[in-house]
Amino acid sequence: MRKIKTNIFNYPVVNSVTPINPKNDNKLMTVKNLTETSGDLYIYGVIVDNSDFKWDEADVMPDDVLNALNQVEGLDELNIYINSPGGSVFAGQAIYNMLKRNKAKKIVHIDGVAASMASVIALVGDEVYVPSNAYMMIHKPLTIAVGNANDFRKAADDLDVIESGLMSAYESKLKEGVTIDIIKQMVDKETWLNGDEIADYFDVEVIESKNIAACASDYLKNYDKTPQKLIASGSKPPQHKPQVNDEDENIKLQNELDLLNL
């Protein structure tokens, strides 16, 4: 009997809230400031697989991105704002590929953190801008496996194949003179980079530091080497975060009330 789950790119999060039906509009994964030629796309939460429910209103599914891209089809320019701790590798790969296919010029802004799978998505940009006080984290893909020795060997082989796909995305944005072997060594030991350090390895432009909070601080605590300063900043509202409407607030309130009845 074998049960292997290979679609988790970072540690699972234990949440104590009622799951949210994704059929409600995800206001944090919406195109904003739409003009005749450009639009702004926000990825401000955990990257999750398409499913019937989300644990948090900020979770981002591939379907969310697909729906948003349908709104910007034919635009010349797409600004993508990222503040995400990562999530499912397969969902993230789907999002990366969808963005890659979009014909608009893609300008990525790492607002707070692009960790784990979000670091891959961030490198989809034709241009990538990162404040000096923002972060990127890269590490090996993770999984949960149950089975015999053969099952575990296969799971390890599968993870190696998955990692090779992630390396392709990193390699596409390497700074001149940097080899993919250097990135592989960094991936092996979970490496956190600030904005200036990101620019040492990848083709990004460092901009003036901003007062930006990291998202999903509880999720970030699951990593081994998360900077404590980054975790502490999670309670502050992100600079670019779109306003959540009354319906979203009502959903959040109902979730809290449901907890009281447990």
Active site residues: 116, 139
Hey, how many other C-beta atoms are within 10 angstroms of the C-beta on 254? Answer: 12
Hey, how many other C-beta atoms are within 10 angstroms of the C-beta on 133? Answer: 17
Instruction: Tell which phi-psi region holds residue 166, choosing left (phi > 0), alpha (psi between -120 and 50) or beta.
Output: alpha
Sign of the Cα torsion 96, 84, 16, 9 reads positive
**Looking at the DSSP assignment, which residues form a beta bridge with residue 131?**
207
